[in-house]
Amino acid sequence: MIINNNITMIDRRKFLKQTLAGAAGVTLAHPALPNIFFPQKKKKLGVALVGLGYYSTDILAPSLQLTEECELVGIVTGTPAKAEKWKAQYKLADQNIYNYENFDSIANNPAIDVIYVVLPPSMHMEYSVRAAKAGKHVWCEKPMAMTVKECQSMIDACNKNKVSLSIGYRVHHEPNTQRIIQFRKDQTYGKVISAEAEAGYFEGRTNHWKQQKKMGGGVMYDMGVYPLNALRYATGLEPIAVTAIASTTRPQIYTEVEETIQFDLDFNGGVTGKGEASFGKSMNTLKVNCSKGWYKLSPFQGYSGNKGETSDGKIINIQIPNQQAKQMDDDALSIKNKTPMLVPGEEGLKDIRVVEAIYRSVAQKGKVTIG
């Protein structure tokens, strides 16, 4: 009941209740009330994981339970038993579970916004392109693909279909990595002179895609892109030449691909980079040498967090709850806000251009230029 253009307390409560129920998200204009905006809750982006191996099962799916901007809503797997297990564990709808035969019909599913490709490297290009043609945004694990040509096909498909593409370089989203990148940009310790990066672990499996050339195996594609990418972001430069050597201590297992690879990069201005990756030994360090000191991270690509130190005694140790959740939330926000991805397809392509040169150097047993 309105008297003298005022609202009684009872009517005010009734008015608010009715208006909230029927007009959430609408600005209310009334002489007795201030303008009130009731924002609608932002929709989380629906993510479907393609390939349910270790990284999806043990890392990405649990991390998606911690994200704020996206959520696990679907899967693509060729194993019916896995599909049933995931359906029960994550309460997935039947219509959001696909196999590799009906994958393309995902185009008709509005619940799925993003396809996260977590397959062996030899399959990255095919499923990224198919996802783009289905009108879905694409997140693809590293390495981006097997060749520069494949990488460009992925970029072109996403551009043509007006969807975004991001490569899963999680450390770019990690605060300690971001800090040392800022050191380089600000020249906190002077100009970068050289950098060294090494990443490896003992791979005990003997019949895995990582030992199979046709699947994209070999340590350079798997662990090698960590030190390679680190040398690029540590220097802020693109290498112009490389000398590389491949080796193995277990030739009975690594019959088709390398177990260990070492590579020396030349950059403009006399800057150098030394990288190593291995399936035969554990290592995880990035050190950057500058004209006025040095800084390093060890580990520099650990799942549970990175940390480091500087030549003047500073500790680099900013911890976040979950790197993969941060990566996926950052990428989801880029999609929602229509802003550039932190790690676009072009970044992945630049690494693969160097990977191709590294393999040429191994084959030619000498230094090769990077075109």
Pairwise CA distance, residues 284 & 227, whole Å: 9
| pLDDT tens string 85-127 | 999 999 999 999 999 999 999 999 999 999 999 999 999 999 9
pTM confidence score? 0.88
| Domain presence at residue 328 | no
Same domain, 59 and 198: no
Same domain, 187 and 284: yes
| pLDDT tens string 153-171 | 999 999 999 999 999 999 9
Within 13 A of 315's CA, how many CA atoms are on the CB side?
3
What is the sign of the dihedral through the CA atoms of 155, 157, 161 and 163? negative
**Whole-Å CA distances, 155 to 133, 342, 347:** 12, 15, 11
| Domain presence at residue 76 | yes
pLDDT at 147 over 50: yes
Residue 264 has phi, psi (to 5 degrees) of: -115, 125
Q: What is the pLDDT of residue 302?
A: 96
Same domain, 57 and 182: no
What integer is the mean pLDDT of 74-78? 97
Percent of the chain whose predicted confidence (pLDDT) is above 70: 89
Q: What is the pLDDT of residue 24?
A: 41
pLDDT at 37 over 90: no
Tell me which of 167, 196, 212 is where a domain ends: 167
Same domain, 126 and 215: no
Domain count, the chain: 2
Same domain, 123 and 180: no
Which residues have a Cβ under 8 Å from the Cβ of 28 and sit 6 or more positions away? 19, 35, 36
Tell me which of 132, 167, 202 is where a domain ends: 167
Q: Buried (b) or exposed (e) across 224-237, using 16+ Cβ within 10 A?
A: bbbbbbbbbbbbeb
Q: Give the closest residue to 117 by CA, choosing from 69, 44, 168.
A: 168
Q: What is the pLDDT of residue 195?
A: 99
Structure confidence at residue 175 as a pLDDT band (50, 70, 90): very high
Element containing residue 159 per DSSP (H, E): helix 148-160
pLDDT at 35 over 50: no
**Whole-Å CA distances, 210 to 216, 237, 246:** 7, 29, 15
Same domain, 349 and 231: yes
pLDDT at 11 over 70: no
Residue 295 has phi, psi (to 5 degrees) of: -150, 155
Same domain, 100 and 176: no
**Whole-Å CA distances, 257 to 201, 241, 316:** 16, 22, 36
pLDDT at 15 over 50: no
Q: What is the pLDDT of residue 41?
A: 54
| Domain presence at residue 31 | no
* Segments forming the whole domain that contains residue 65: 45-167
Structure confidence at residue 22 as a pLDDT band (50, 70, 90): very low
Q: What is the pLDDT of residue 371?
A: 84
pLDDT at 33 over 50: no
CATH number at residue 284: 3.30.360.10
pLDDT at 29 over 90: no
Structure confidence at residue 9 as a pLDDT band (50, 70, 90): very low
Mean pLDDT of the residues in the chain: 91
CATH number at residue 57: 3.40.50.720
| Domain presence at residue 60 | yes
| Domain presence at residue 11 | no
Note every long-range contact of 5-12, with CB atoms under 8 Å and residues 24 or more positions apart, other chains counting: 5/31, 5/32, 6/32, 7/32, 7/33
Same domain, 207 and 355: yes
| pLDDT tens string 292-342 | 999 999 999 999 999 999 999 999 999 999 999 999 999 999 999 999 999
Q: What is the pLDDT of residue 10?
A: 38
Q: What is the pLDDT of residue 166?
A: 98
Same domain, 159 and 181: no
Tell me which of 128, 150, 167 is where a domain ends: 167
Same domain, 220 and 354: yes
Same domain, 147 and 221: no
| Domain presence at residue 333 | no
Task: Scan for tokens 């150097």, then name that residue.
Answer: 361
What integer is the mean pLDDT of 8-35? 40
CB atoms within 10 A of CB 156: 13
| Domain presence at residue 270 | yes
What integer is the mean pLDDT of 208-219? 97
Pairwise CA distance, residues 324 & 287, whole Å: 24
What integer is the mean pLDDT of 335-361? 98
Secondary structure percentages of the chain, helix, strand, coil, to 5:
40, 25, 35
| Domain presence at residue 242 | yes
Q: What is the pLDDT of residue 263?
A: 99
Same domain, 100 and 145: yes
pLDDT at 38 over 80: no
What is the greatest pairwise CA distance in the chain?
93
